[in-house]
Structure 1
Amino acid sequence: MSEAFDATKVRKAVLTVALLNFAYFFVEFFIALSAGSVSLLADSVDFLEDTSINLLIFIALGWPLAKRAVMGKLMAIVILAPAAFAA
């Protein structure tokens, strides 16, 4: 039996994931600083990117479909920003 899409439950799950990503950023960031690891520091920044993407998804799930398409473009920019910075 197929259940209908429940945006409220999905939004709650996405927000939980965003908060967990944000919390883990701090864990990995401070471990990277104490270990002097640039690799861990870069990986910790990736958790901030994951957080921002999940927050954008959380916001967009409350919008009509046409506005979600605009949010998809914004998410693409967020994903490409670290690559542009690294280049």
Structure 2
Amino acid sequence: MNIWLVAALVLVILMLPCGWLCYTGTPLERFVALQMAQLFAVLIVLLLAEGYRRTIYFDLSLVLTVLSLASGLVYLRFLERWL
């Protein structure tokens, strides 16, 4: 286990409060927690790519970044019905 994998594990643990807030928060708190969890997911994939020395995972993190922006916009569009 190298330092990159340890950092990825730490970020996975830091995602737990985001998940809890997505489950119990108000709609705007849920959106902020969702965006933070997506940021953590991108960083975790980047750290795993470096830790396992797989270059294809860097492409996966790029796709995840674009999709996280799109999913955030879809969630906001869904959320505006109640705000």
TM range (shorter): 0.5 to 0.7
When normalised by structure 1's length, the TM-score is 0.59
Q: Structure 2 residue aligned with 1:24, among 17, 30, 39? A: 17
Percent identity of the aligned residues?
Answer: 8
Residue ranges of structure 1 left out of the alignment (5+ in a row): 1-6
Q: How many residues align?
A: 75
When normalised by structure 2's length, the TM-score is 0.60
**Residue 63 (structure 2) pairs with residue 81 (structure 1):** no
8 Å contact kept, 2:8–2:48: no
1:32-75 per-residue CA deviation (whole Å, 9 max, x = no partner) reads 1xxxx22112112123313321331233121344x254234323
What is the CA–CA distance in structure 1 between the aligned matches of 2:36 and 2:65, rounded to whole Å?
A: 16
- Relative distance call for 1:79 and 1:29 in structure 2 (3 A) is closer
- Relative distance call for 1:73 and 1:31 in structure 2 (3 A) is closer
**Residue 29 (structure 2) pairs with residue 43 (structure 1):** no
Residue ranges of structure 2 left out of the alignment (5+ in a row): 78-83
Q: Which has the larger radius of gyration?
A: 1
Deviates more, 1:49-58 or 1:11-20: 49-58
SS at match of 2:2: helix
Q: Structure 1 residue aligned with 2:53, among 43, 63, 68? A: 63
